[in-house]
């Protein structure tokens, strides 16, 4: 399970298989190699956790976790061929800073969105990141949050809790990794059975982003979940479980 930026594995529902959650919110040393650095950290973590010893392997990823999964799987064919299924929620194949547009307000089918790129550029200034982190947490360190226990699970409330959950240096490293991320030209290589889940009220990515992601992968299906927003795994966990069970059933059917 690969959670999004500032989040952890508690955003996901309990899954009917053994799970390993990999996040980097406590990272106190800036990453200097962008997404490639995160791919190395991910592979190290999977080797350490014995991920490859499982008989069947599925990747469930959200937001930044989905971008990380795509960066990893497009670069490493030998490992990609050992993955039995992929679930992507609230994510993009890139370019993230161009395609992400913050949903300010929505009324029915009409909504107002603003580009995220300029906002991230401002938030990425060291003093701004430190100030926001101290303002929300009174500490620059990561203070783990159980997102399932939050009284409110709106995108805004979870994002605010994510600041508490994340070391200030990790926040800057996440953003640096997203700059220049774009694997659209290599999506055709990822032929893993995939389900893309999208919430029409997603605060960052429109339906077009999810559609293009699913359309670019040769073995992917798009499912739009009514009422869901960016934190779909947290608010509509049953849909994640259903998607996983469907992929498992597909794997069993193909073995026959």
Q: Does 41 have pLDDT greater than 90?
A: yes
Q: For 56-60, 174-178, 233-237, which range has the lowest pLDDT when averaged over its residues? A: 174-178
Compute CA 148 distance to the chain's CA centroid, rounded to the nearest angstrom.
17
Q: Does 2 have pLDDT greater than 90?
A: yes
> Quick one: pLDDT band at residue 255, thresholds 50, 70, 90?
low
CA distance 150 to 4: 17
Q: Does 78 have pLDDT greater than 90?
A: yes
Residue with the bigger pLDDT between 98 and 21: it is: 21
* Whole-number pLDDT of residue 195: 98
Find the mean pLDDT for residues 228-251: 96
pLDDT in tens, 190-218: 999 999 999 999 999 999 999 999 999 99
The model's pTM is 0.93
* Whole-number pLDDT of residue 256: 53
Identify the CA nearest to 217 among candidates 239, 195, 191: 191
Q: Does 69 have pLDDT greater than 60?
A: yes
CA distance 243 to 197: 9
pLDDT in tens, 155-182: 999 999 999 999 999 998 998 899 889 9
- CATH number of the domain that 71 lies in? 3.40.50.1820
Q: Does 232 have pLDDT greater than 60?
A: yes
Residue with the bigger pLDDT between 115 and 58: it is: 58
* Whole-number pLDDT of residue 145: 96
Q: By residue range, what is the domain housing residue 129?
A: 1-256
For residue 16 the two structure tokens come to: 């009917």
Quick check: 92 and 213 in contact, CB under 8 A?
yes
* Number of domains present in the structure of the chain: 1
């Amino acid at each position: 399970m690969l959670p999004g930026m500032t989040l952890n594995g508690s955003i996901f529902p309990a899954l009917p298989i053994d799970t390993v959650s990999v996040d980097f919110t406590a990272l106190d040393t800036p990453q200097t190699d962008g997404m490639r650095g995160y791919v190395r950290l991910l592979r190290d973590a999977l080797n350490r956790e014995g991920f490859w010893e499982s008989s069947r392997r599925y990747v469930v990823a959200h937001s930044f976790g989905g971008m990380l999964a795509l960066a990893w799987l497009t670069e490493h064919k030998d490992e990609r061929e050992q993955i039995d299924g992929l679930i992507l929620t609230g994510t993009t194949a890139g370019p993230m800073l161009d395609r992400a547009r913050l949903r300010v307000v929505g009324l029915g089918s009409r909504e107002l969105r603003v580009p995220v790129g300029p906002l991230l550029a401002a938030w990425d200034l060291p003093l701004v990141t430190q100030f926001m982190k101290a303002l929300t947490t009174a500490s620059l360190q990561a203070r783990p949050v159980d997102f399932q226990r939050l009284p409110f699970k709106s995108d805004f409330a979870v994002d605010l809790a994510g600041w508490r959950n994340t070391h200030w240096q990790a926040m800057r490293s996440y953003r640096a990794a997203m700059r220049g991320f774009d694997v659209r030209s290599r999506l055709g290589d990822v032929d893993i059975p995939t389900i893309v889940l999208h919430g029409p009220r997603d605060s960052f990515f429109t339906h077009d982003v999810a559609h293009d992601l699913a359309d670019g992968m040769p073995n992917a299906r798009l499912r739009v979940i009514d009422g869901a927003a960016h934190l779909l795994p947290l608010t509509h966990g049953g849909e994640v479980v259903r998607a996983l069970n469907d992929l498992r059933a597909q794997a069993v059917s193909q073995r026959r």
